[in-house]
A and B are shown apart, each in its own frame.
Chain A
Amino acid sequence: MIELKDLCEDLKERFGAETSVKGSVCYVKVEADKYLEVAKFLKKEFDRLLTISAVDFIKESFFEVYFILYRFDGRVYCKVSTKVPRDEAEIDSLSQLWPNASMHERETWEMFGIKFKGNDMLKPLLTEEWTGPPPFRKDFNWRKYVAEVYRIPQAMR
């Protein structure tokens, strides 16, 4: 069994992480330079990587990049997140730790334009010949784009 409280204490001590627990999920916030170290440490504690993705906080001008892990024994999830500046979005890749990490990073790169250092798979996954800005960024307005490209004026209604 794993005690989420002990894990939180451990993470606080070793990496200076901000932690909180809600139900069976543990939320961990770390600095960008500790991101890969924390992932290496948690790789031993948790069994599988569920996803890697991002949130665009445009007002505060940063991306929150996060990954989520699960451990069968103890039945707990762990979300680790870090801040990446919006104008220079770059972070270490986790592809050396989990085999499915590079595919999730590929999608995040395509949708948010965040570069992952050490991931050699960064090419378009879901779109084809897309030339616009990364579509999931908050400053790309879909409805405006649809109104202009597909000529649907009610999109701006």
Chain B
Amino acid sequence: MAASVKALLKLFFRKPMTYRFPPEMPLSEFSRGRHVLDMEKCRGCGACATICPNKAIEMVERETEDGKVRKYPQIDMFKCCFCGLCAEICPTGALKLTNFPWLVAMDKKSYIMPPEELAKPPELQMPPMKVKPKSIVDWARARSLWIVFYFTGCCFLEAAPWASSGFDMERFGLLTKGSPRQSDVLLVGGYVTPKTLRRIVRVYSQMPRPKYVMAFGCCPATGGTYWDSYNVIKELDKYIPVDMWIAGCPPRPEPIGLAVVMAMDAIQGMGYQGKEEKVPEEVKVPYYEPKPGEKEMVFTVPFGPQHPASGNFSIRLRLDGEYIFEAEAVPGYLHRGFEKLMEYRSWYQNIMIVQRICVLDGASYELAYAETVEELAGVEPPDRAKYLRVIQAELSRIQSHLLNIGLIAKAAGFDTVLNVAWGDREKVLYVRERLTGSRIYDIYSAPGGVRRDMPEKLREDVEEMVKKLRPQLEIYDDLLLKNPMFKERTVGVGKVDRDTAVEYDLVGPNLRASGMGFDVRKDVPYEVYGDLDFKVPCYEEGDAYHRTLVRRDEIEQSLNIIEQAVDEMPKGPFRKKVPFFMRVPKGEAWHCIESARGELCFYMVSDGSDRPYRVKVRGPTFDSILVLLPKVLKGAPLADVPVVYWSFDNCPADHDR
């Protein structure tokens, strides 16, 4: 107990983790934001419109001063995914990405940017916020907006830091409520599938008036990346009114701040009451009702999809009193049909879509895709690229494990650890952005190597990050892992023995906590893992506590790996040029890597054309969550569900694809 108090005191006398708002510009010199066009350099060749995987770019005609008609790109920011393929292919360098992330609007049409608009350098305009309040009610309402989050998709990962210590939304008077009945604002984070839409409409209709809706990311506005998926709704405002749109894929957390300030300004200054309510009748809303004629204390309780601890995933629990006697996983809220989407895009265009399969650990998916294509095409990336890929993958692993430690701490009732861990995660994301150009969706590994070289200052950034994170691990020990209260909630809970783990195909940290030391990095080495020195942490007990312990130990090992990789970085080229519209010889390939959640495999078939014939993604969570979790939950009390669920470290987007 004394150790926890000491650790808390240590934290108390430290510099605060919260960033300033509005932040000083530029936020980061390396992030990918709005485009800027040099109209004089542009030749109007249309290469950008051809390569754009989202069809966000359209070529429009403009008359020049000397009377000629020329073509220029027009970009819809609410379709763009900010991958930068257009800037990469541009032969004259006329189209470039800036680091400007502030794309917030009440009318989504206002961000269809014609070439003249694109030519102007971007500028941030903050609302004045000094308008005299219309009435005291509006003033009070503007300053105490309560939010109900509905994290439908990937954007969750950038909206979550907004709620935690780094960006601290509570200073705006915002409060998260798991229940829609007390909330003013519904924040929809990410793409919406028809299955999710029915639940969103239900949440929306339960909110009291006036109600406001914010849509986070490009997908709710136009379909975004999934514009050609059969199972994603393209325009959310056809079903519920949306007051504020935030563009980005995913947007950074700061633009939510701008959106909130704009909303406060509108509510306070104009008494804005939200758009008119219209919920179409045809969207049927399913209810879960207990079957008639059952015992009195037998209930059916859905855990999720709109539950603060579930993610967009549901488990149907059958309870006898407080204890579960039957459980069934109900996935599919995030199904976009990736395997088929990739068949419609060329080999190179796919590097922009593949990490979106699982937002929590996108880098591993890029890596697995790039390696499988290289195996099919017979391309060998240069050594420097291999080291850079290792750094990227390990950074992604650390941030994913930190996220999970925060979530399991929250599930067990330790909110402080949640805020500390997610604050530390920001440090990792900072380095990741400097290396790859994005906090979440790197789009960094491509067949043939990586897309940009290591920045000069990365060595110092990594040193600083490691120096900050190593002592933090002891704080997690003191506050969480050695804490008797946390042990009581997790030791012996959700136990899986070794034979069951192997039979049910458990992988990654979950398998290693059950006594099977299988790690693809060690057993079937890829990239340069064979040359690096690291241990594979392994425990025998196989309960929720030891699964968390494995993740904590892995953070330490990953920090070692990153240090080694930076030290031993060879000189030379960082990529081998492969053509943008390359063809891959006929054949099949099965390739596995170790992602943060375990063994991730790609199976690809090529028929010799410019796009894959079939892609199969075998994610690490499919078996553990859909098959094993319901079995483990049998006999457990209801209160243990979040702890067991997060100890398996689910990523619903991974098993739904």
Residues of A participating in the B interface, judged by any CB pair closer than 8 Å = 22, 24-25, 27, 47-51, 53, 55-56, 68, 72, 75, 77, 79, 98-100, 103-104, 124-129, 132, 135-136, 142-143, 145-146, 149-150, 152, 154-155, 157
Contact = CB atoms under 8 A, between A and B. Distances in A.
Given A51-B616, A146-B230, A157-B55, 5 more contacts: A72-B523, A77-B590, A99-B627, A127-B195, A143-B344
B335 A55 contact: no
B508 to A, nearest CB: 13
B237 interface: no
B451 interface: no
A50 B656 CA distance: 16
Given A24-B524, A146-B228, A103 B626 contact: yes
Nearest to A137: B340
Interface string B584-620: 0000111010000001010101000000011010100
B223 to A, nearest CB: 7
30 contacts: A47-B502, A48-B502, A50-B505, A50-B599, A50-B601, A50-B618, A51-B601, A51-B616, A51-B618, A53-B616, A72-B502, A77-B590, A79-B603, A99-B504, A103-B626, A125-B331, A126-B335, A127-B195, A128-B194, A135-B231, A135-B337, A136-B337, A142-B337, A143-B228, A150-B223, A150-B233, A152-B234, A154-B55, A155-B227, A155-B228
Contacts of B230: 132, 135, 142, 145-146, 149
A24 B627 CA distance: 27
Contacts of A24: 524
A142 B227 contact: no
Contacts of B590: 25, 68, 77, 79
Interface string B517-532: 0100001100000000
Contacts of A145: 230
Closest 5 CB pairs of A and B: A126-B332, A126-B335, A128-B195, A51-B618, A150-B234
A135 B335 CA distance: 12
Contacts of A103: 622-623, 626-627
Interface of B: 55, 194-195, 198, 223, 227-231, 233-234, 331-332, 335, 337, 339-341, 344, 502-505, 516, 518, 523-524, 588-590, 592, 599, 601, 603, 605, 613-614, 616, 618, 622-623, 626-628, 656
B614 A56 contact: yes
Contacts of B229: 142, 146
A48 B601 CA distance: 14
Contacts of B516: 72
Contacts of B223: 150, 152
Nearest to B618: A51
A104 B603 CA distance: 15
B335 A127 contact: yes
B112 to A, nearest CB: 13
Given A48-B505, A68-B590, A99-B503, A55 B331 contact: no
Given A55-B605, A103-B627, A48 B503 contact: yes
Contacts of B503: 48, 98-99
B616 A127 contact: no
Pick from B233, B505, B627 the residue with the most CB of A within 10 Å.
B505
Nearest to B592: A77
A102 to B, nearest CB: 8
